[in-house]
Amino acid sequence: QTHFLSLSLQAKMSRPVQARRLEGIDKNIWVEFVKLATTYSTVNLGQGFPDFPPPDFLKEAFMRAISGENHMLHQYTRAFGHPPLVKILAQLFGKLLGRDLDPMTNVMVTVGAYQALFCCFQAFVDEGDEVIIIEPFFDCYEPMVKMAGGKPVFVPLRPKAPKHGKLMSSADWQLDPAELASKFSERTKAIVLNSPNNPLGKVFSREELQLIADLCVKHDVLCISDEVYEWLVYDGKEHIRIANLQGMWERTVIIGSAGKTFSATGWKVGWTVGPNRLLQHIRTVHQNSVYHCATAAQEAVAQGFQRELELYGKPDSYFVQLPKLLQQKRDWLVQSLDALGMKPIVPEGTYFLVADISEFKSDVPDVPDSDEPYDSRFAKWMVKNKGLAVIPLSTFYCGAHKNNYNHFIRFCFAKEEATLKAANDILQKWKREKTSS
């Protein structure tokens, strides 16, 4: 036994076990913040998932799928997507995009939008290729680009002061056209667009999308368009699909998520929609890694979409009701944070809201020259001492830019009324204690 032990020790020391592609991406903030939330929080507005149930029609569809007569729903299905699901997605997106889509070649089902993203980067990005990412961004884009051997190139949304007396809106965060243009070169392979954007809730306007589209066409660049929050837009705003702009369909992959669409993030059903010239390579990555996503979940999501297609635009549609419900929650949280002096940036879409913590800084002193951005220390302190879990905005910036905007935190408001009230109670009590001390 001693002999084996020394052999394995030797083996351990003789060469690195970690593949080079993992260098610098082994730390993940979600692991840390989810653990902190589980350990300390009484109220969790951190990670982005609803704490209310998915709609009954969806749960019932899943139950029928697993307990019904068709026992084949417990077995493998088509690798690139369960036929009923790709068919209904082709129908729905065909309508939204105003073009005929072939369910077998223009749609592919993935294990959540996460895997769709991973497949895109693996399929399109070569060693040394540059991929433009707009900050703040859903954090997995950066490590996924790096794992594919690519180089992320960041361009920030820059906030401009809101109109006098008005709260800042996510629309006040904008790209500088000249700065964006300067990031495109012959090395640029793709740009990642996320509208509505996590974490700000920004819904890109037609003019902003046109700017991006023109640069993509000019430089022959692909667009990976993460539209997982496509149904969550407020105040009558319109979600515009960049694939619909001139010259963009051929170079765009649309990514979606049933988790966000139907409030069932744990099901991990996502999809890609795009031209076959792009999707054929995504299929290659998918068939050689994941192969396919749970059949019964795909069947249930297909039925959910069937219902939604029939009710499209009608008051009973979940795609009409969910944003209505979430807009009320958003408005409530905006008002309560504003009253507390934690200035909210009013989101136009998604179920996230970013707020300014400057007025709450006094309890959590800054440590000059620390490697950790202030908002991160603040969020950790808050969950440990106040029991309220949120995510620091610096999470959504690359390493070099984490201190550019380090006095904001992100709340998820896809929560029951009682959860939001409990969060408000915590902040109110904290504020009272601060004022009296």
Residues in the site for ligand PMP, rule: CB under 6 A?
Answer: 48, 112-114, 138, 194, 198, 226, 228, 257, 259, 265, 270
Closest approach of ligand PMP to the CB of residue 57, in Å: 20
Pairing assessment for the beta strands 130-135 and 252-257 based on DSSP bridges: unpaired
Q: Do the strands 43-44 and 107-110 form a parallel or antiparallel pair, or are they unpaired?
A: unpaired
Long-range contacts of residues 52-55, Cβ cutoff 8 Å, at least 24 apart: 52/263, 52/414, 52/415, 52/416, 53/263, 54/262, 54/263, 54/264, 55/262, 55/263, 55/304, 55/318
**Cα Rg, the chain, nearest whole Å:** 23
* Residue with smaller CB distance to ligand PMP, 124 or 352: 352
Greatest distance between any 2 Cα atoms in the chain: 76
Least distance to ligand PMP from the beta carbon of 229, Å?
A: 7
Q: How far is the CB of 315 from ligand PMP (least distance, A)?
A: 27
Closer to ligand PMP by CB, 49 or 332: give it: 49
Nearer to ligand PMP by Cβ, of 114 and 413: the residue is 114
CB-wise, 137 or 374, nearer to ligand PMP?
137
* Shorter beta-carbon distance to ligand PMP: residue 259 or 349: 259
- 10 Å CB burial of residue 309 (0-12, 13-18, 19+) is middle
CA 337 to chain centre: 23
| Residue 105 C-beta: closest distance to ligand PMP, Å | 22
**Residue ranges of the alpha helices (H) in 187-257?**
206-219
Q: Minimal CB distance to ligand PMP: which residue?
A: 112
Spatial distance between the Cα atoms of 73 and 64, rounded to a whole number of angstroms: 10
Nearer to ligand PMP by C-beta: 194 or 376? 194
Bond into 315 cis (ω within 30)? no
Nearer to ligand PMP, 108 or 427 (CB): 108
Closest separation between CB of residue 13 and ligand PMP, Å?
38
Q: In the bound complex, what is the minimum distance in angstroms from residue 406's beta carbon to ligand PMP?
A: 21
Q: ω before 136 within 30° of 0 (cis)?
A: yes
Select 61 or 264, whichever has its Cβ closest to ligand PMP: 264
When the beta carbons of 77 and 115 are compared against ligand PMP, the nearer one is 115
Pick between residue 228 and residue 346 the one whose CB is nearest to ligand PMP.
Answer: 228
List, in sequence order, the alpha helices (H) in 79-152.
Answer: 83-97, 112-124, 141-147
Nearest to 275 by CA among 136, 105, 48, 45: 105
Q: What kind and span of H or E run contains 174?
A: strand 173-174
Q: At what angle do helices 56-67 and 295-310 cross, to 10 degrees?
A: 140
In 3D space, the residue among 61, 68, 57, 142 whose CA is nearest the CA of residue 319 turns out to be 57
Residue 195 Cβ vs ligand PMP, minimum distance, rounded to whole Å: 10
Least Å distance, CB 341 to ligand PMP, is 28
Nearest distance in Å: CB 269, ligand PMP: 7
Residue 210 CB partners (closer than 8 Å, separation 6+)? 245
**Residues 6 or more apart in contact with residue 118 via CB below 8 angstroms:** 144, 285
Min dist CB 437 to ligand PMP, Å, is 37
